[in-house]
Amino acid sequence: MLAAVRVLTVSGATETAHGGLLEICLTAAYSPQTPQQGQEEASAKVPKLVGGASILARLRAERAKSAAKAKSTASARAYIVYASQTGTANEIANGMAAEAGQHGVKAQAMSCNELGFEKLAKMPAPTVVVLIAASTGDGDCPDNSASFFAHMKRRSLESNTLAHVRFTCLGLGDSNYTRFMAVSRAFRTRFQDLGAQRFYDFKEADEVDGIEPIVEAWVAGLWAPLKQTLQADASSAVQSTEAPAPAANGQAQKDAGIPALIPCRVALQWLEASQAARVLDAEKSYRPGGSEIAQHTNGANFTADQPFWASLSCAQRLSAQDSDRTVLHLELDTSGSGMSPDPGDSLGVVPQNDPDLVAALLARLGWDGRRVFSVAPAAGSGSEDGGDTKLLPHLHWPCSIQHALTYHCDIASPPRKSLLRLLAEQASMQRLSVKENGHASVQLPVFVRSGGAFKPPSTLTGPWIMIGPGTGVAPFRGFLQRRRKLLHQSSAGHSAGQAWLFCGCRRRQEDFLYGQEFQRFVAEGILSRLHVAFSRAGPSKVYVQHLIREQAAALAPLLTHPEAHIFICGDGTHMARDVHAALLDVLTGQAGAKAAGDSEVLSAAKAAEHLSAMAGQGRYVRDIWS
């Protein structure tokens, strides 16, 4: 199964002052990749099974054996349910579902939306759920679980709605984000509030520490309590007389490192000609024309599933022609959409795959892209009683293969382990050939994502400290446009707090994004200070955190101002952490010259407390990505 197409978000929506034109700054973040040549599979005629092929054959035989055995044993199953935006939680869940059989457990992986909250609420006791939940945006729930999440949070639910549920939860997150683990924690709390009981320890895996060892240890410890919990349902228990799990025998040890195969849970059903023709017809109008767009008058209606098709009215390269970096400034015409994003909101762009890439994939697989399919539970998958579960909802089936591959599948990312495993199983005689290409479109399907607390303060009294190296600077154009407006409206410019911008690029001539515009803000008095770290202009690297430390004396009193706001936008892998450390150094007097005058120097503990209190009050906000 191919994953859902990733949704890109780009920062930098401006005040949209100019009649439905939305400006965004876009880095070349979505570039289909060509697999390493060595990854392409060798072709036909394999006379004797050797190496990997023999291992696969053995695994297949074992799978057939355990499938036969499973028929005669238990039927209770665990739901391994994921909330995943970029595929990590999904991949972990798939891997677990694939491995479950080896531990004598029947399990099915699906997204929260596929499971459905209402369906879960009606399941018999005990229903066993293993939840793997990532956070996205600013502590937001991933798209594939948003409707489940919204249902779960309804206040009208009785406190015993999930009393029949036994569950555990693995949270995925990144402690660089202000709302660390917001989604998994919300799931945990709400499940328990609704009566669900924990059967195994909760765990949180932080990207900053590296999630793999934590996830692996948690999964390894899960099987015994999971099996025990499933057995608690005497009527459909897994037999305790079952043979030892293959994982425990010598053969399995030899195969260690080969991921288990994800059980097939869906079957495609081909539509007959007249029904297929209707679907193909409908797909022609997938991009709505003017009349359909006019029906939407409220920008909030547009989502990743139903985006607004905005036309591109301007595309301009911001980085120098000879730079190996491509940074584009795009302006989109959103007239008629009713969208009115605020500075700090981001724009979701639903990418579509390059038609040539889709055609190449279809040709390689020998598929007719015009064949139309719907999706049903696979026989023996245990989902036949799926009820109102909508399998693979991201495909919007019934649809043609061509449509699914163009709009709803990610066919350009490097394949994940589970997909390679599936390909090894199913397509060992096929050669996948893809070609590297950027995709070009006239129109872009877009929708607005709220920036949450990442938005300009509504007042001017406190200082605004904005830190945005690289393309992280983009939203601060919007912030400063808003500030200009506030200053004009308030006519109290003289009492406004200061506004500082720290940004960074390689060299002035190469990638000083919106440099002239920011200098104009300074000239107009809208921006009090502009500090630019040119990382490659001198003999040693200079980054924003260095400039923050350099400016410690003047910055410290601003940071401790009771109405100060600090905004950070950009790289979450290193920058956000390094900037945080620099801010602590400023507050503790460890950086640069001692703070002037009456500015208080804080102890390390007080400085950390100060920043965390600011974060809690929405005055230290980060919009970062890794």
Residues that bind ligand FMN in the complex, under the rule CB under 6 A: 84-90, 134-139, 142, 172-174, 177, 179-182, 207, 625-626
Minimum CB distance to ligand FMN smaller for 94 or for 102: 94
Give the distance, in angstroms, between the CA of residue 519 and the centroid of all CA atoms in the same chain.
34
Residues 575, 544: Cα–Cα separation, whole Å: 8
Contacts of 363 (CB under 8 A, 6+ apart): none
Question: CA torsion sign, 140 to 144 to 146 to 148?
Answer: negative
Q: Which of 135, 15, 7 is nearest to 455 (CA)?
A: 15
Q: Say which DSSP state 271 is in.
A: P
Minimum CB distance to ligand FMN smaller for 90 or for 551: 90
Minimum CB distance to ligand FMN smaller for 114 or for 331: 114
The minimum distance between CB 461 and ligand FMN, in angstroms, equals 28
The minimum distance between CB 207 and ligand FMN, in angstroms, equals 5
Written as one letter, the residue type at 429 is: M
Minimum CB distance to ligand FMN smaller for 174 or for 510: 174
Minimum CB distance to ligand FMN smaller for 180 or for 191: 180
Burial of residue 70, with CB atoms counted within 10 A of its CB: 0-12 exposed, 13-18 middle, 19 or more buried: middle
The minimum distance between CB 109 and ligand FMN, in angstroms, equals 12
Number of Cβ within a 10 Å radius of residue 271: 19
SS (H, E, C) 119-150: HHHHCCCCEEEEEEEECECCCECCHHHHHHHH
* Cβ atoms of 485 and 477 closer than 8 Å: no
* Cβ atoms of 567 and 474 closer than 8 Å: no
The minimum distance between CB 150 and ligand FMN, in angstroms, equals 17
The minimum distance between CB 137 and ligand FMN, in angstroms, equals 5
Minimum CB distance to ligand FMN smaller for 136 or for 545: 136
* Length of the chain in terms of residues written: 626
Minimum CB distance to ligand FMN smaller for 149 or for 512: 149
Secondary structure of residue 426 in the 3-state scheme:
helix
Minimum CB distance to ligand FMN smaller for 174 or for 410: 174
Number of Cβ within a 10 Å radius of residue 613: 11
The minimum distance between CB 89 and ligand FMN, in angstroms, equals 3
Q: Which residues pair with 78 in a beta bridge?
A: 107, 128
Q: Which of 492, 466, 470 is nearest to 478 (CA)?
A: 466
Residue nearest to ligand FMN (CB): 173
The minimum distance between CB 173 and ligand FMN, in angstroms, equals 3
Q: Which residues pair with 280 in a beta bridge?
A: none
Minimum CB distance to ligand FMN smaller for 299 or for 452: 452
The minimum distance between CB 256 and ligand FMN, in angstroms, equals 25
* Cβ atoms of 78 and 129 closer than 8 Å: yes
> What Rg value do the Cα atoms of the chain yield, rounded?
27
The minimum distance between CB 390 and ligand FMN, in angstroms, equals 20
Minimum CB distance to ligand FMN smaller for 40 or for 216: 216
Residues 475, 625: Cα–Cα separation, whole Å: 14
Question: CA torsion sign, 566 to 572 to 575 to 580?
Answer: positive
Residues 168, 120: Cα–Cα separation, whole Å: 15
Residues 176, 625: Cα–Cα separation, whole Å: 9
The minimum distance between CB 138 and ligand FMN, in angstroms, equals 5
* Cβ atoms of 168 and 134 closer than 8 Å: no
The minimum distance between CB 205 and ligand FMN, in angstroms, equals 7
The minimum distance between CB 121 and ligand FMN, in angstroms, equals 24
Minimum CB distance to ligand FMN smaller for 84 or for 418: 84
Minimum CB distance to ligand FMN smaller for 399 or for 409: 409
Q: Which of 180, 175, 179, 197 is nearest to 188 (CA)?
A: 197
